[in-house]
A and B are shown apart, each in its own frame.
Chain A
């Protein structure tokens, strides 16, 4: 067994052998008794429910933290490392409250046999939910240890403190954490009034710790599910239909089965796969099978050049996102604009992969899914077994940026492994399979209208968006490609319009700007001829692009500076602060610029309840080639208390460059039957020659304040700032994403 970080003990194994003492506690009394007199309590991060963060769903402390008799500490999270630094930052949080170094913490991430069910690792919520839970649980465990040390040492709790894995008191009194362990001593529910350490006492939170996963990744260590090599493991490849709804009408099994190394051909309805001893044998068998397979296809895709009318005529329902004040207001002038966004890919560099093994009726799947529990449920339904008969273990994959092929590859592996009990099966998708079958970020259409009073202030705002659902994750077995293709043909889950504070297609559709009269509607498109789901930021990318483009037009109409115009429409001081910091560090001015060069700024508070982010940048537009080149980019971000500042910078730089790539290049192409973007030449993305000269990210820290999700906050503002710099450079506005060279030249009349 060589899966990275794979725990060799079952959860039950963890729970037995914790010592012989039987001690029970009355939790609330204990929490009160153990509350330290000093330092002063810090404000509770994200304390919006009786129990903070994910403790609300999983209150028992031993679901999160285990202390062994040898003093070792294990922390459990239902969230997964996706390349965002979770394995490091969650250790920092636990280490802070447990008064040890982060390196002393053993961290177990998402595993249906071991960790809490925290749903999906998505929506920039790991620190907000899991981090908050681990923070409070760790603080309470520390207080329990102090209380036990008080009993053991005969020293009052107010004279004891936790320090480097021990509880210490006056005159050399000391007890290691391991000496204080008793059976089930953490099998108690979390207390809502647990006090956290004060920011001025931090030794781990906010400090620059190196990411724990990077050394292995730069030296050839086993870091990814793709690197797993179980004894006796065989290699599988799927053979996908040429289009979503194609039906298999025939294939030649015997010839493929006779190929060297082939151990199985899997056929179930329209699901086809080959299994071979060696990987390249599987690749060759896959190619041979693809040649022999005959499919019946049908034209079911919309015209890629007529997406707005397709969306408008496909509306199933209209949902009110917000409705404030009057439907209209008198003013000096009214402006209108319409924006669009193409279908866009996650485009993970490593195509999806999974390893599965059936052993005594239990199917174990090592997967880079974002949600081990939901994926397990869908796979169990697909296999016709109880969820307990499937175990999903998160194992890192290539960065996903949302719902890519991970769940589907896990389902492929689980289905194929049923034919080979006792044999580990590794599925590796090919590049074209990822490009053609991953669920894309949905195309969108938005229409904005605003009325300005005589002073240029916005008095009325109407915003309408047309979009599919941005979340088709498992779900039922029908949310999995294998589930749909197999002979049982599980139907996809019906699309439902849901308006929630989290947001979906309507994420960030409500401007944070202060406007007395607002109408925002989601024209919900249920029909999904092109497979779509969650791509980093969901609707926020297109909504913020639209709103921030439109705000610049309003500022121009009001004859106002674009930064001042935003500030005058904002009340939230933290929103103003990030705009001011970005503008100041960038050197914002209205000085004239050379021909073809422009500056742009954009802002959003992600989901209107997560991180505040403003970005200013300078762009050069080359009329002849249509190329847009960014020189320098400056960003300011406030995500509350910064746990791992360098990871915040890393994530934000990444978000900026990824959004730059989406914004300048990316659109999925298709004809009436097939997707036509099977590789990086048909779907180009950012390369080094187009990377900005400099990207500076300034973290506006707020120690002691609640954690605000940050990993997706840059997607929308980056697009808005590029759009506004282009407008400033050329005097022309492009309303459609992406800003391809062809589109730039067409708008400039070149």
Chain B
């Protein structure tokens, strides 16, 4: 299979029925998408395909051939985080952090489709994703901040190496 992930084309040797999640995590060694339920109930595995947020645990890899897959690794790097990542760092929007990459990808899909999404839109968009640590308030604030960062195009603030804002 040929998969385009984060703008790079990969040749993958795998059973075409393999869920995209396992291909991303094991064949491409990308950590962002997480295994949470394998049932499409929790959203920890959320990635974007052609701009839409999908459950990678339920999507056979062969279905995304020829399409653009984006994971949290495609939003920026630890040295040059993108606006969504910067916003989550600035809001300190994580406890254990296991659900967070999935939250970010669902929020990214929303903001790419609707750059002026309101707070109610954000809540509604995140409904499929579960957080068990109870970080919801910070996640909502982080997504709103990401929206503002994207709008103001001041997108490349450095990661907080020391003190938070």
Contact = CB atoms under 8 A, between A and B. Distances in A.
A136 to B, nearest CB: 25
B154 to A, nearest CB: 18
Interface in B45-91: 71-73, 75-78, 81, 84-85, 88-89
A30 interface: no
Interface in B13-38: 14-15, 18-19, 22, 25-26, 29-32, 34-38
Given A209-B164, A350-B34, A399-B133, A217 B18 contact: no
B97 A214 contact: yes
Contacts of B99: 349
Nearest to B73: A220
Contacts of A279: 22, 25-26
A315 B85 CA distance: 53
A211 interface: yes
A648 to B, nearest CB: 12
A220 B134 contact: no
A224 B34 CA distance: 10
Interface stretch (A412-420, A482-490, A495-503, A678-686): A678-686
B29 to A, nearest CB: 6
A562 B129 CA distance: 37
Given A280-B18, A688-B123, A220 B37 contact: no
A691 interface: yes
Interface residues of B, number: 63
B161 interface: yes
Contacts of A171: none
Contacts of A663: none
Contact of A218 (B37, B38, B101, B126): B101
Nearest to A102: B162
B53 to A, nearest CB: 14
A668 to B, nearest CB: 15
A219 B94 contact: no
Most chain A CB inside 10 Å of its own CB: which residue of B94, B126, B129, B137: B137
Most chain B CB inside 10 Å of its own CB: which residue of A399, A430, A680, A688: A688
Nearest to A434: B37
A162 B101 CA distance: 41
B44 interface: yes
Contacts of B101: 217-218, 220
Most chain A CB inside 10 Å of its own CB: which residue of B37, B41, B77: B37
Contacts of B35: 226, 350-351, 428
Contacts of B19: 280
A103 B161 contact: yes
A209 B89 CA distance: 11
A653 to B, nearest CB: 6
Contacts of A84: 95
B104 interface: yes
B8 interface: no
Nearest to B104: A218
B106 to A, nearest CB: 10
Most chain B CB inside 10 Å of its own CB: which residue of A101, A207, A431: A431
A213 interface: yes
A650 B127 contact: no
A260 B13 CA distance: 14
Nearest to B84: A218
A431 B39 contact: yes
Most chain B CB inside 10 Å of its own CB: which residue of A208, A216, A219, A397: A219
A218 B73 contact: no
B126 A430 contact: no
Contacts of A661: 134
Nearest to A227: B31
A86 to B, nearest CB: 11
B132 to A, nearest CB: 5
Interface in A649-666: 650-651, 653-658, 660-661
Contact of A83 (B39, B133, B159): B133
B124 interface: yes
Given A82-B96, A218-B88, A695-B137, A689 B127 contact: yes
A689 B161 CA distance: 34
A687 interface: yes
Interface residues of A, number: 68
Contacts, number: 200
B160 interface: yes
Given A280-B19, A349-B44, A220 B72 contact: yes
B1 to A, nearest CB: 13
Contacts of B127: 687-689
Contact of B137 (A209, A687, A691): A691
A222 interface: yes
Contact of B97 (A213, A281, A431, A691): A213
A226 B26 CA distance: 11
A654 B95 contact: yes
Interface in A270-292: 278-281
Name the prevailing secondary structure of the B interface residues. loop
Nearest to B17: A280
B36 A431 contact: yes
A106 interface: no
Contact of B135 (A224, A398, A650, A689): A650
Contact of A210 (B89, B104, B123): B89
A347 interface: yes
Contact of B133 (A220, A658, A680, A695): A658
B140 interface: yes
B3 to A, nearest CB: 15
A229 interface: yes
A103 B77 CA distance: 20
Given A688-B123, A691-B137, A220 B98 contact: no
A679 B138 contact: no
A615 to B, nearest CB: 13
B95 A218 contact: no
Contacts of B94: 83, 211, 213-214, 217-218
B88 A214 contact: yes
B155 interface: no
Given A349-B44, A650-B92, A224 B98 contact: yes
A396 B130 CA distance: 19
Contacts of B100: 217-218
Given A223-B31, A279-B26, A398 B92 contact: no
A655 to B, nearest CB: 7
Contacts of B38: 430-431
B78 A216 contact: yes
Interface in B132-164: 132-138, 140, 159-164
Given A348-B132, A687-B127, A223 B78 contact: no
B131 interface: yes
Contacts of B117: none
A658 B89 contact: no
Contacts of B96: 82-83, 349, 396-399
B97 A650 contact: no
Given A349-B98, A691-B123, A103 B92 contact: no
A642 B29 CA distance: 39
A689 B39 CA distance: 20
B130 A680 contact: yes
Interface string A387-403: 00000000011110100
A4 to B, nearest CB: 10
A601 to B, nearest CB: 20
B7 to A, nearest CB: 15
Contacts of B98: 83, 224, 348-350, 397-399
Given A218-B81, A349-B44, A399-B95, 5 more contacts: A215-B159, A218-B88, A350-B98, A431-B42, A654-B134
Ranked 3 nearest A-B pairs via Cβ: A83-B96, A657-B134, A399-B96
14 contacts: A215-B85, A219-B81, A220-B30, A220-B71, A223-B31, A224-B34, A227-B31, A278-B22, A349-B99, A396-B96, A650-B138, A679-B41, A688-B127, A689-B124
